């Protein structure tokens, strides 16, 4: 299946996110790697996806799972080599799968050559000016220069002595202290990232996921200002917050777009930007990155009203910019969707997760059912759908990772207020049994629970009605059914049921409620996320074509 030169291939693509360290280990060191991905290309092809997005695989000490990059133009030796990367890319392209890599422009790691130079250099030197170094406040400079908060620590400033520096300055890091922020007012930094983008695009990489795209430009005018605290991510619409979503950041992406457009087909990009929907559209405009993650469903309950309004807003905003929207139910930063939907919406998820899931019961089956119904709904919408590895198996969050095995700085650096993101990053189960359930020949770098076996690729393959086969059928159909980016809503007799169709007569109905919903007369059944029913009685698993009643937490696709 050769790749086309269609420059719009990404607009309604199905993109599968791979967390390489936890996908497949080829050499028994407990860490997933590039050769592991190569060995599973048949599996990826069996999913009928258009592209994969690779979480950072660059050399890194893993202070933040790999979002602390030592060298942007290399592969971590624990994961493989550049030659293996090229082999993987070529083989994926052969089966029609494109590749996104993750670009982390806000910060490097503290082991990056430039940061090491900066720490060794004098204040005011060119080497320090690639990062954000400042003198502290207080009589002896013993206090951080501003009140800027870090996502992983109380302050975004660390004293240089913590990194071996001898000049009594502080450096800025919006994330962990091992993730120093670049100074994006420095042309050398801008040029180095153009070089990185070109490096990967020249190798044939098709797209880029841009990490923390809203934070690169800060107000660095002197004297530095404290940040006015806004609740949540509600930064001002005027684009003049000290740290986030500043108007100037768009100059960077316009320059990137000019580079992307020199390729055929043009390289594509997707922004990770935690900003208000009205501001998100700038990142996704065709003059800039082209697309941005739409994270609204990550916060939504399994609820018809919430889904409906998010869908309407997202489609409207994207259309106004000439972009297509994205649909995301989970990623490497989120509690897995099956788990979110298996938990009563009133439960405080953070406290629950910190209790290892002991304070409230988790309805595992309902969670998987609802997450699969939601996945089939978003697959049918106009736009681009992202799936995070393991969602196609119906994996739940792993809740009981022992404290001494936690890797996530979100927990370790942040007064242990949040147990962190390891629970969705546990190595995938490929087989029913065996050490690390087929992930590798030895252990897995994060502990896998005993229930992983029954959720393995082996256990679910060929089993009608399993989450994996439900996804496979849905994704194969989706590829054939893709229609112009339009949607028509149809009225339903139950407010907890959503029904829309696409211009080619592809109908999608999702039942968010507790009653059965009669969909007689809509069209021929193509597929459903779970068994259908007749007069409230379930048909056999896999015999989806015979019922006309849509059970709770189920999606059906029909052809009118
Ligand atoms: C993004 C990533 C997250 C990482 C952070 C810092 O939000 O998704 O995993 O910790 O950026 O790079
Ligand atoms: Ca390995």
Taking only the tens place, the pLDDT of each residue in 290-316 is 999 999 999 999 999 999 999 999 999
From atom 8 of ligand 1, which residue's Cα is the shortest distance away? 333
235: pLDDT confidence band, cut at 50, 70 and 90? confident
State which ligand 1 atom lies nearest to the alpha carbon of 175.
6
Sign of CA dihedral 165, 102, 205, 439: positive
Q: What is the 503 CA–ligand 2 centroid distance (Å)?
A: 46
Q: How far is the CA of 251 from the centre of ligand 1 (A)?
A: 22
CA 242 to chain CA centroid, nearest Å = 26
Span 12-18, mean pLDDT? 98
Higher pLDDT, 537 or 440: 440
For residue 196, which of 273, 290, 285, 269 has the smallest C-alpha distance?
269
Residue whose tokens read 């950072």: 56
Read off the tokens for 117: 């130079």
pLDDT band at 416 (very low <50, low <70, confident <90, very high): confident
Q: Which residues surround ligand 2, an ion (CB under 5 A)?
A: 25, 27, 29, 31, 33
CA distances from residue 14 to 148, 315, 438, 508 in whole angstroms, order as listed: 37, 17, 26, 17
Q: Which atom of ligand 1 is nearest to the CA of 274?
A: 7
Which of 206, 211, 317, 408 is flagged as catalytic? 211
The share of the chain scoring above pLDDT 70, in percent, equals 97
Tokens 């967390």 locate to 19
Ligand nearest to the Cα of 55, by number: 1
Residues 28-45: what's their mean pLDDT? 98
Dist. CA 441 → ligand 2 center (Å): 10
Query: Which residue has a Cα nearest atom 3 of ligand 1?
Result: 333
Local structure of 84: helix, strand or coil: helix
Alpha carbon nearest to ligand 1 atom 12, residue = 67
**pLDDT level of residue 232 (50, 70, 90 thresholds):** low
Residue 144 Cα to ligand 2 midpoint, Å, equals 40
CA distance 305 to 515: 16
Max mean pLDDT among 148-162, 267-281, 363-377, 410-424 falls in 363-377
Strand segments (E) across 512-548: 517-518, 524-528, 533-534, 537-538
State how far the alpha carbon of 394 is from the alpha carbons of 144, 361, 508, in Å. 45, 18, 21
Mean pLDDT on 52-77: 97
Atom from ligand 1 closest to the CA of residue 421: 9
Ligand nearest to the CA of 25: 2
pLDDT at residue 321 in the model: 84
CB–CB of 199/165 below 8 Å? no
pLDDT score, position 293:
95
Give the ligand whose atoms come closest to the C-alpha of residue 68.
1
Distance (angstroms) between ligand 1 centre and the Cα of 420 equals: 12
Q: What are phi and psi of 488, to 5 degrees?
A: -120, 130
* Ligand 1 atom closest to the CA of 104, numbered from 1: 12
Please confirm, yes or no, whether 365 is among the known catalytic residues: no
Whole-angstrom distance, CA of residue 219 vs CA of residue 244:
9
Length, in residues, of the chain: 560
Q: Could you tell me the distance, in angstroms and rounded to a whole number, from the CA of residue 382 to the centre of ligand 1?
A: 27
Pocket test for ligand 1, best of 67, 69, 181 (most atoms within 8 A of CB): 67
pLDDT above 90: residue 2: no
Question: Which residue lies with its CA nearest to atom 9 of ligand 1?
Answer: 333
Residue 127: pLDDT over 60: yes
Tokens 């050499």 sit on residue:
27
pLDDT value of position 542: 47
CB neighbour list of residue 49: distance below 8 Å, 6 or more residues apart: 14, 15, 16, 97, 387, 475
Ligand (nearest to CA of 443): 2
* Smallest CA separation from ligand 1 atom 2, residue: 211
Whether the CB-CB separation of 54 and 100 falls below 8 Å is answered with yes
Provide mean pLDDT across the span 339-368.
93
Mutate to test the pocket of ligand 1, among 62, 105, 212 (most ligand atoms within 8 A of CB): 212
Torsion angle of C-alpha atoms 247, 253, 258, 264, degrees rounded to 10: -150
In the residue annotation, 211 being an active-site residue is answered as yes
Q: Is 274 left (phi over 0), alpha (psi -120 to 50) or beta?
A: beta
According to the model, what pLDDT value does residue 535 have? 74
Q: What is the mean pLDDT of residues 275-289?
A: 91
Alpha-carbon distance of 507 to 494, in angstroms, equals 17
State yes or no: pLDDT of 102 exceeds 60: yes
pLDDT reported for residue 546: 61
Ligand 1 geometric centre to CA of 211 (Å): 6
pLDDT band at 113 (very low <50, low <70, confident <90, very high): very high
Least confident of 20-24, 128-132, 350-354, 438-442: 350-354
Alpha-carbon gap, residue 472 to 485, rounded angstroms:
22
The pLDDT value given to residue 534 = 82
Options 272, 287, 301, 363, the catalytic residue: 272
User: Which residues have CB under 6 Å of ligand 1?
Assistant: 64, 67, 104, 175, 211-212, 272, 332-333
């Amino acid at each position: 299946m050769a790749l086309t030169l269609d420059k719009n291939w990404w607009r309604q693509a199905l993109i599968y996110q791979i967390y390489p360290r936890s996908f497949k280990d080829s050499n028994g060191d407990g860490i997933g790697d590039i050769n592991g991905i190569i060995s599973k290309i048949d599996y990826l092809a069996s999913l009928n996806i258009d592209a994969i997005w690779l979480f950072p695989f660059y050399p890194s000490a893993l202070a933040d799972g790999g979002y602390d990059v030592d060298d942007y133009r290399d592969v971590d030796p624990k994961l493989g080599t550049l030659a293996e990367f090229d082999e993987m890319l070529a083989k994926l392209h052969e089966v029609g799968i494109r590749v996104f890599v993750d670009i982390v422009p806000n910060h490097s790691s503290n082991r990056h050559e430039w940061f090491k130079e900066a720490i060794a250099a004098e204040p005011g030197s060119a080497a320090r000016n690639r990062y954000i170094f400042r003198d502290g406040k207080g009589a002896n400079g013993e206090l951080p220069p501003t009140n800027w908060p870090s996502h992983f620590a109380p302050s975004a400033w660390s004293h240089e002595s913590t990194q071996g520096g001898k000049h009594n300055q502080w450096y800025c890091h919006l994330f962990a202290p091992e993730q120093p922020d670049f100074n994006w007012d420095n042309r050398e930094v801008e040029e180095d990232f153009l070089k990185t983008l070109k490096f990967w695009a020249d190798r044939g990489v098709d797209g880029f996921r841009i990490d923390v795209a809203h934070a690169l430009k800060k107000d660095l005018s002197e004297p530095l200002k404290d940040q006015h605290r806004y609740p949540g991510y509600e930064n001002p619409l005027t684009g003049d917050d000290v740290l986030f979503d500043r108007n100037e950041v768009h100059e960077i992406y316009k320059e990137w777009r000019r580079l992307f457009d020199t390729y055929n087909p043009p390289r594509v990009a997707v922004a990770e930007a935690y900003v208000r929907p009205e501001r998100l559209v700038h990142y996704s405009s065709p003059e800039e990155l082209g697309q941005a993650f739409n994270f609204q469903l990550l916060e939504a309950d399994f609820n018809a009203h919430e889904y409906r309004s998010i869908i309407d807003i997202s489609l409207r905003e994207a259309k106004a910019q000439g972009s297509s929207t994205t649909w995301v139910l989970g990623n490497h930063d989120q509690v897995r969707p099956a788990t979110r939907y298996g938990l009563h919406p009133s439960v405080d998820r953070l406290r629950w997760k910190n209790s290892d899931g002991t304070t409230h019961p988790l309805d595992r089956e309902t969670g998987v059912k609802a997450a699969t119904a939601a996945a089939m709904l978003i697959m049918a919408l106009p736009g681009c759908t992202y799936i995070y590895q393991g969602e196609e198996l119906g994996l739940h969050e792993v809740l009981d990772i022992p404290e001494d095995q936690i890797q996530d700085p979100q927990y370790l650096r942040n007064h242990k207020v949040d147990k962190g993101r390891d629970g969705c990053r546990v190595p995938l189960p490929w087989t029913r049994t065996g050490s690390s359930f087929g992930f590798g020949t030895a252990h897995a770098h994060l502990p896998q629970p005993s229930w992983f076996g029954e959720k393995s690729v082996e256990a679910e393959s060929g089993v009608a009605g399993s989450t994996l086969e439900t996804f496979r059928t849905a994704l194969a159909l989706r590829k054939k059914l893709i229609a112009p980016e339009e949607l028509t809503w149809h009225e339903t007799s139950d407010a907890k049921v959503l029904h829309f169709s696409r211009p080619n007569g592809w109908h999608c109905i999702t039942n968010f409620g507790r009653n059965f919903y009669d969909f007689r007369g809509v069209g021929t059944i193509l597929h459903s996320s779970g068994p259908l029913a007749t007069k409230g009685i379930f048909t056999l698993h896999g015999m989806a074509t015979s019922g006309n009643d849509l059970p709770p937490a189920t999606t059906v696709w029909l052809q009118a």
